[in-house]
Chain A
Amino acid sequence: MDRDLPNSSCEQSIRSSSENPAEDSLSPETLASLRSLVITPSTPDTTISSIFQTLTRSLQLSRDPLVLHHTLKLLSDLASYRPSLSSSVSELVRSHALLSSDSTRLAAESLDVLASIAEREGTPVDLDDRSFVSLCFGPSVSVRSWLLRNAERFRIGPHVLLTTFLGFTRDPYPYVRKTALDGLVGLSKPSVVEDLDMIQACYCRAVELLLDTEDYVRSAAVRAVSAWGLMLVAFNLKTKLYWSDNLFVKLCSMGRDMSMEVRVEAFDALGKIEIVSVDILLQTLSKRVLGTTKEMGSFGQCPAAEVERSASSVAGVLVHGLEDEFYEVRKSTCHSLRTLTIISAEFSEKALNLLMDVLNDDSMFVRLQALETMLHMATYGLLKVQGTHMHMFLGSLMDGNMSISSATRKILKLVKLPNLETFKLSVDGLIDNLERHPQDEADIFSVLFHIGRNHGKYGVSIINEVFEEMEPPSEGKLGFDTARVAALLVLAISAPLSHGQHACNIPPIIFSYAVTLLGRISVALTDVMNQDTLLAYLSQCSRSTRFSAMEFNLREDKPHLPAVTIASLSHSSNEINSTVGSPFQQGEDGAANLQYQAIREPMEVASLHFGYPLEVQDEVIRSMNLILAKVKDIWPLIQSGFTNEVLRVLRSFKEELATFASGSLRFVGDVAFALQYLQVVKQLAKVWEHFLPARKLCSGMGELDIALGKLETSLREMRSRFTGLSLKQELQILELLLLTFTLRLSKVESCCQVASLKKLSTTASHVESILKLGSIEPSNFMSEVSKLSYLTRTSSFGAPCDPFLFKELLKYFSLEQFVVFGTIGHIKAELVVPDNDAENHLPFVPRLPVGIPCEITLHNICSENKVWVRMTMDDESTQFVFLDLDHFGSSDEVRKFTYVVPFYRIPSALSFILRICIGMECSFEDVPSVKRYGGPDRELTYLCQEKEVHLSMVGEH
């Protein structure tokens, strides 16, 4: 009943206005109440239709631009909230849009309404070219730039658009120039323009604007120059090089612009050029103008002064880019080197010298990009590493940042080292790396195996030098525990698979030693062979080399004697089957075959067989993995809606796991991780209930949102509160996150679609970046999601996607098994405020800060993590204090210290309760959530339970 009151008053006002047609303008209050009626779903249709009539009258009769503006806005709302009315609204506004030629601003607003209605219905707006152009030529600058920006929505003929955009690059208003340039970029497609003159005109006009006074115009001009320049380059094969050089020089001249944005655009654009004269290219690496550039005719038949000018604008541009103040520019330069190094080998050699130095950059993003460029060069066989590079290059292996060292290792897998010395340095570097970061063992073994296979000769000579070191110290007991020996074993066993004929020199006993590490090695070599194959290979080598030793010795005398070695066989699986026999035939459907990969396409061979039986050193880990395997099996139960059953099973698993936690301190992290995983599965099961066909109608919207929120929080914790996760594990967690967002997006009624969509696309791109790093095959679900998220990212209006598309995705998902290796550390904190409880209060002096003594224990937190103390009062006002970990102990594993946390916002009360808690910034939240000073930049994950601290004024105890 209460709701009816405002409604009726509104209706009155509508009625009164309809009774007095003379009073043609609506007051702001009326407009506001109309709006509230429009957006309330429960407003009856009759009211809505009278609102529509009122608005129609207002639109037709009113002359006040402000009222007209609001009327249009309301009509737009009306159309979006009441789809049934949208065609009438569109009809009305269309007739008005044609009438209101006196105000271009209102005409543009009407067009906006029409366009948004049309977009919802998927039909085009009929705006003829002539009216579009005449609106553009109106005096209002903001309308002009709005029209140019939105031209795409009105399906104006591309040729009309092209001339309009080109014309408006002359506009005296910089924003119009910028918009026009951006529009030109959008039109730079061969399907739109076929006329050479037109392409040249656009290109030259954009080049002129490179000298604009405004930063943003220059940066748009760089984009336009790049887009049209590339059109020009592609236009004619004969003039290709000429125009490519021309474009290259033009872009280079912007590399020293004073605006960071312009420089980033310039270097991004340079990376798109595929062909350019070598002397120009070499000039970019030298700030001095080289003699060759002056002499050579790469700049066409230009006069000498022009050549000199071009040469000096090219000179050293890439060097400048790499030493730029802004990491964005440095990163972009590194990226552009990817394509440029392919153009010339001489250039790539010189650029590599610079890139190696970039590994010393202070920004992690830049170092990573430099390594990715090197990886790219290595894939193209252009990475000519030299002795002088080794210090910097191997230094990256030691880098505290995981992704840097992992990227370096990926390069090492492919790199061709020039001599034994560099090879030794690399192997030593890897062993050093292994000793410091045992959790990367699998990856490091894999690198050692590849590097050994690529450099068979060097590998053999190292093994022979250190063979004695690898012999077990005492008879009977084999002790290959040291990382160094294990690493050398892996290196040794790779030699027979190398391309040379050096296998013979490896003592066969080494292969027997290697068998003892079978599990560990086979985890590392999943991209090459599976465990059965590995075992067969090792036993073959350890047996047959003993027999063939004589054969090998003989071979020097009789080179033509057919010698059968594994090395020569490894190229073809058939031969292995026929000669070596049974062990290799065990595998079904050829999985046991050695997979040989050419050095040029290592990326393509990416597979992970998770079906291997783990070599388990520890009973606890094995039992945990058994439980985790069972968790995977309950997925069908969840899907079919046996929720109670599932929850019961999960509870029993949880109890079982909990026994390990009390048993061994060693795997406390892994147990916590597994428990957290169970928690996630439990929440997932609860969420899934809402997606079952039977429950469709009765599920409350809020309930699902809460359940989804819980699931997301648990997954976030899983992601941020554990260290030592493998890439695979991280990927699995990300997949679950993707699932969460997809679930949210697939419900029509669920709120925050835009935010979820954004999260989905960030997570998806994160997944992509991990997939790029490791040789892991994405699951069906992941690839489907990334396809869809790519679509939504590229769709021009960022409109929320259809929930049904997301619903479709769900059927691709299935739960994968988590495997733990005993390497996980649990990030947690303990916080005690001694001698403080409801009885014993801390004293404070009014208006003065109070220090709260806290005994804090931090587990597994390294100094890169940003840890904050959060203090909240009853009124939810919060204060953060940053804990600089460098001051509190050096060990990353456990830090225990007492810290007096200052609290400043003392309320004017006799006593109060402060809730205090420790949180850590989520390092993976790429975009800082809120930028506020004096608090964390990113979202916090809380590491302990909130503690209540009781305070009372001095003397008031």
Chain B
Amino acid sequence: MAIECLVLGAGQQVGKSCVVVSMNGKRIMFDCGMDMAYHDHRRHPDFSRISEYGDFDKALTCIVITHFHLDHIGALPYFTEVCGYRGPIYMTALAPSMLEDYRKVMVERRGEEEQFTSEHIVECMKKVIAVDVKQTVQVDKDLMIRAYYAGHVLGAAMFYTKVGDSAIVYTGDYNMTPDRHLGAAQIDRLQLDLLITESTYATTIRDSKYGREAEFLKAVHKCVLGGGKVLIPTFALGRAQELCILLEDYWERMNLKIPIYFSSGLTMQANMYYKMLISWTSQKVKETYSTRNAFDFKHVLNFDRSMISAPGPCVLFATPGWISGGFSLEVFKQWAPSEMNLITLPGYCAAGTIGHKLMSGKPSKIDLDKDTQLDVRCQIHQLSFSPHTDAKGIMDLVKFLSPKHVILVHGEKPKMATLKGRIYSELGIRCDDPANNETVCIPSTHHVEVGASNTFIRSSLNPNFNFSKMSSEDESDSRLKDGKFMPWLQVKDERAAEGILVEEKGKRAKIVHLDEFLLMLGEKKHDIRFAYCFPINTDNLEDTKSTDVSSSSNALSVSGRSSWLPMLYIKLSDELSGGNIQYFGEQIQVESFSVSLCLKDRCPYRIVDSPPNKCEAVFFCCAWSIADEKLAWKIISILENRNYGTL
């Protein structure tokens, strides 16, 4: 059975995320995002590919949303309210409450027309079923989903989905390194057929964040010590909280008394979300929560417009982040002309915003509009913290999960191709990076349900390990196998392997124990043995006797045939060092190899009929099992060589 993966969005692009996965008869849509670069139908995923006739309820089993960013959830109200999808929608508890705020921010910030109305959201959210982190939800009899912590933003989750034997993980956006307020992504080592992962930074590898944090703190500290004001333009959620925790912690340690302000009510409200949803934050925040909520900022005060021109140092968080307008622009106008002040900018600012202008070189003057020009003398500090994992993090996750197949989404095409190559070459995992509206088919695990016999179950309860030692001849070539070191001594426990799968017509398949299997067939166990009969020159043996065996054996009358075997034994013991040679009177045994005197005139295993010197030769018959083939031929050659050597 195959897993079909239809990429409706974020295929070789960073934009609307939407992937529809069909596995074992279930069809799940992961994320339902909006592309904000477009204003026409291209902003939404092409839902018609799911069902031509718009019968989405039948076509989809459920929708799973990873987090509340618009490029992951934006098209959902459209899909439910306009396209009419009525099936279940799963997302983390946070997303519904955030969506409304987020919509407002987007509308206010961009001054765009509303893409969906508040009523749409309310209606849409009624269909949502909330999932908590690590919660397992049985959607129906066969389909199970489980949310894992993704780190990217408050309430972001990765989803493990299992239908029958096929299992996949869809990551959404995630972060593999923790920051001050969110933890790193966390998942169990699962058996997966497919991993669908974001690849925003498919080739970037980031250094430690510590250095950047230290620089930021140093710049802020220096500025306020010199009596300057620090403006930190941010958006409401994410960086504001992270930086504020960082500053608070530093303020606390250094015992600084300079005020930190939050400008807008919105940020305060965002902090309220954080306080409510403490289980989605980092370990540190969770640990301290019982005595002090890390988001109850001790040093943070509300900022009043009248304070803009008040004297004295301070730190101010103001929205929006790119200084594209609003309050941060207002403050910027006032503070930029003074050399004492400092503006910190995020790593990315959209083109056309003042933030973008400040980042590209250090301009001394900025045109606010065509009439006004502003002197910029303040210091500028750039900060690049990203909530997305870097290439190393993607590789680490793929390596940890070791799925059978990887699909990359949410990234730029050329970079994805590089990462795809790395995943294949370094980890040996097949990887695809489909474009939008492409379908990838991958084979999935197919399990057959079988019964097991009691004997088999009992045999697998008892330990059954054994040790094997590679023979010394294997030494040179096989110790390094596939570049991995193989020790001589190895241990195996083959309980499970000892069962035999029996599929009889009209009956359920069953695993039975080896002994039972023979019984079922009414057959006996066959053991393949090799046999060989060869002559040994007795003259030669006499020599051995006189040289090797001391006078005591000489004293015995040695003409009897019975004494030849002990002589062989002595010879073998001499030449075959290390082997476990046993002498049983009638035969000599080395592992499974046995040799005894052949008294038959016509032995079926005799190849050479008569030795050169007929009367002096004695035939020996030997047998061994296939495992000891090399050993056997070694022994035979020892015995024979001696024989021919004297000729």
**Which residues of A are in contact with B by a Cβ distance under 8 Å?**
136-139, 144, 163, 166-172, 197-198, 200-201, 203-205, 213, 246, 256-258, 287-288, 301-303, 305-306, 308-309, 312-313, 315-316, 319-320, 322-327, 353-354, 356-358, 360, 362-363, 391-392, 395, 398-401, 436, 866, 882, 884, 886, 933, 937
Which of B328-336, B459-467, B638-646 interfaces with chain A?
A: B459-467
Give the nearest-CB partner of A360 in chain B: B214
State the CA gap A163–B491 with chains docked (Å): 9
- Known contacts A170-B493, A200-B488, A257-B400: A363-B284 contact under CB 8 Å: yes
Give the nearest-CB partner of A299 in chain B: B483
State the CA gap A323–B211 with chains docked (Å): 11
**CB neighbours of A313 from chain B (8 A):** 399
Pair B463/A325 contact, Cβ less than 8 Å: no
Partner of A171, one of B221, B283, B485, B493: B493
Partner of B283, one of A168, A326, A353: A326
**CB neighbours of B283 from chain A (8 A):** 325-327
Pair A305/B217 contact, Cβ less than 8 Å: no
Pair B211/A357 contact, Cβ less than 8 Å: yes
- Known contacts A137-B462, A258-B187, A360-B217: A319-B491 contact under CB 8 Å: no
**CB neighbours of B292 from chain A (8 A):** 884
State the CA gap A764–B188 with chains docked (Å): 39
Closest 7 CB pairs of A and B: A170-B493, A357-B210, A325-B178, A201-B489, A306-B483, A167-B465, A200-B487
Partner of B463, one of A137, A203, A320: A137
State the CA gap A491–B393 with chains docked (Å): 50
- Check if B290 is an interface residue, CB within 8 A of chain A: yes
In the complex, 13 of the A-B residue pairs with CB atoms within 8 angstroms, ordered by the A residue number, are A163-B467, A167-B465, A213-B189, A258-B186, A287-B205, A308-B425, A324-B184, A326-B283, A356-B214, A395-B254, A398-B253, A398-B254, A886-B298
**CB neighbours of A354 from chain B (8 A):** 208, 210
- Check if B255 is an interface residue, CB within 8 A of chain A: yes
- Check if B282 is an interface residue, CB within 8 A of chain A: yes
Contacts beyond the supplied A256-B400, A257-B400, A392-B218: 14 A-B pairs with Cβ under 8 Å: A169-B491, A170-B463, A288-B205, A309-B426, A319-B208, A323-B210, A325-B178, A325-B282, A325-B283, A327-B283, A354-B210, A358-B210, A400-B255, A882-B291
**CB neighbours of B245 from chain A (8 A):** 362
What is the CB-to-nearest-CB distance from B391 to chain A, in angstroms, rounded to a whole number?
9
State the CA gap A138–B284 with chains docked (Å): 46
- Known contacts A167-B493, A400-B252: A197-B487 contact under CB 8 Å: yes
State the CA gap A589–B481 with chains docked (Å): 71
- Known contacts A400-B253, A933-B290: A172-B489 contact under CB 8 Å: no
State the CA gap A287–B203 with chains docked (Å): 12
State the CA gap A71–B285 with chains docked (Å): 51
What is the CB-to-nearest-CB distance from B228 to chain A, in angstroms, rounded to a whole number?
17
Pair A258/B209 contact, Cβ less than 8 Å: no
**CB neighbours of A309 from chain B (8 A):** 426-427
**CB neighbours of A395 from chain B (8 A):** 253-254
**CB neighbours of A170 from chain B (8 A):** 463, 465, 491-493
- Known contacts A325-B183, A354-B210: A303-B205 contact under CB 8 Å: no
Give the nearest-CB partner of B487 in chain A: A200
Give the nearest-CB partner of B462 in chain A: A139
- Check if B458 is an interface residue, CB within 8 A of chain A: yes
Pair A398/B255 contact, Cβ less than 8 Å: yes
**CB neighbours of A163 from chain B (8 A):** 467
**CB neighbours of B493 from chain A (8 A):** 167, 170-172
Pair B177/A320 contact, Cβ less than 8 Å: yes
Give the nearest-CB partner of B494 in chain A: A170
Pair B207/A287 contact, Cβ less than 8 Å: yes
State the CA gap A357–B255 with chains docked (Å): 19
State the CA gap A98–B155 with chains docked (Å): 60
Number of A-B pairs, beta carbon distance below 8 Å: 153
What is the CB-to-nearest-CB distance from B53 to chain A, in angstroms, rounded to a whole number?
44
CB neighbors of A among B251-290 (8 A):
252-255, 282-284, 290
Provide the main secondary structure of the chain B interface. mixed
Pair B177/A323 contact, Cβ less than 8 Å: yes
**CB neighbours of B206 from chain A (8 A):** 287
What is the CB-to-nearest-CB distance from A575 to chain B, in angstroms, rounded to a whole number?
47
**Which residues of B are in contact with A by a Cβ distance under 8 Å?**
177-178, 180, 183-184, 186-189, 191, 205-211, 213-214, 217-218, 221, 245, 249-250, 252-255, 282-284, 290-292, 298, 390, 392, 395-396, 399-400, 425-427, 458, 460-463, 465, 467, 469, 480, 483-493, 495-496
Partner of B487, one of A203, A325, A401: A203
**CB neighbours of B208 from chain A (8 A):** 319, 322-323, 354, 357
What is the CB-to-nearest-CB distance from A309 to chain B, in angstroms, rounded to a whole number?
6
Pair B463/A305 contact, Cβ less than 8 Å: no
Pair B426/A197 contact, Cβ less than 8 Å: no
Most buried by A among B187, B210, B390: B210
- Known contacts A137-B463, A198-B489: A937-B210 contact under CB 8 Å: no
- Known contacts A171-B493, A362-B180: A312-B298 contact under CB 8 Å: no
**CB neighbours of B486 from chain A (8 A):** 204
Pair B213/A360 contact, Cβ less than 8 Å: yes
- Known contacts A201-B490, A258-B186: A168-B463 contact under CB 8 Å: yes
What is the CB-to-nearest-CB distance from A645 to chain B, in angstroms, rounded to a whole number?
48
Pair B489/A357 contact, Cβ less than 8 Å: no
What is the CB-to-nearest-CB distance from B478 to chain A, in angstroms, rounded to a whole number?
14
**CB neighbours of B400 from chain A (8 A):** 256-258
Give the nearest-CB partner of B427 in chain A: A309
Give the nearest-CB partner of A399 in chain B: B253
**CB neighbours of A200 from chain B (8 A):** 485, 487-489
**CB neighbours of A401 from chain B (8 A):** 253
State the CA gap A418–B193 with chains docked (Å): 57
State the CA gap A288–B186 with chains docked (Å): 23
Give the nearest-CB partner of A144 in chain B: B463
Most buried by A among B465, B467, B490, B493: B465
Give the nearest-CB partner of B465 in chain A: A167
Pair A323/B209 contact, Cβ less than 8 Å: yes
Give the nearest-CB partner of A353 in chain B: B211
**CB neighbours of A169 from chain B (8 A):** 491
What is the CB-to-nearest-CB distance from A885 to chain B, in angstroms, rounded to a whole number?
10
Give the nearest-CB partner of A167 in chain B: B465
**CB neighbours of A398 from chain B (8 A):** 253-255
Pair A315/B392 contact, Cβ less than 8 Å: yes
**CB neighbours of A203 from chain B (8 A):** 487
What is the CB-to-nearest-CB distance from B626 to chain A, in angstroms, rounded to a whole number?
25
Most buried by A among B217, B298, B461, B463: B463
**CB neighbours of A171 from chain B (8 A):** 463, 493
**CB neighbours of A356 from chain B (8 A):** 214
State the CA gap A213–B402 with chains docked (Å): 11
**CB neighbours of A322 from chain B (8 A):** 208, 210
State the CA gap A198–B158 with chains docked (Å): 43
State the CA gap A197–B252 with chains docked (Å): 57
**CB neighbours of B458 from chain A (8 A):** 139
Give the nearest-CB partner of B400 in chain A: A258
Give the nearest-CB partner of B461 in chain A: A139
Partner of B495, one of A172, A323, A357: A172
State the CA gap A80–B237 with chains docked (Å): 64
- Known contacts A197-B487, A305-B483, A325-B184: A866-B463 contact under CB 8 Å: no
State the CA gap A606–B207 with chains docked (Å): 41
**CB neighbours of A197 from chain B (8 A):** 469, 487-489
Give the nearest-CB partner of B428 in chain A: A305
Partner of B462, one of A138, A205, A305, A436: A138
Pair B178/A324 contact, Cβ less than 8 Å: yes
State the CA gap A886–B252 with chains docked (Å): 12
State the CA gap A401–B458 with chains docked (Å): 61
State the CA gap A395–B211 with chains docked (Å): 15
Partner of A302, one of B213, B395, B483, B491: B483
**CB neighbours of A884 from chain B (8 A):** 292
Pair B491/A201 contact, Cβ less than 8 Å: yes
**CB neighbours of B189 from chain A (8 A):** 213, 258
Pair A362/B284 contact, Cβ less than 8 Å: yes
